[in-house]
Structure 1
């Protein structure tokens, strides 16, 4: 339960700060591709990315999964 709350907080942070959109664009994915992967409409993803709405529930967790999969931030410093 606590993990889900942390994940919801993370995905909402990514949406509010514009990081979600930056990651999608850096991965050269369209709104429709991300929307299809999450199972929502393009308009929904667009609203999330512009912080007009915040992702909720299972759709939010699916969105976070996509964002984590396309994250281009290095996980560790190269040796």
Structure 2
């Protein structure tokens, strides 16, 4: 599992999936998931997501690829 922080509070799973897995690439694995964490009471994004990937190598490659990437004008914080 990989932590992705510094997301805009309006971020949802769909645009993140499009960014991380364009054309569904990699998303065909059952073990692959993107979940924006939300406040339980308000339902609003807490500004971070967790990305679940099939194995440790995939997680390391994901961190290498997306660390400091730009998403909607914000630099992503990506770490294990």
TM norm structure 1: 0.35
Q: Compare the two structures and name the one with the higher helix fraction.
A: 1
TM-score (norm: length of structure 2) = 0.35
More strand by share: 2
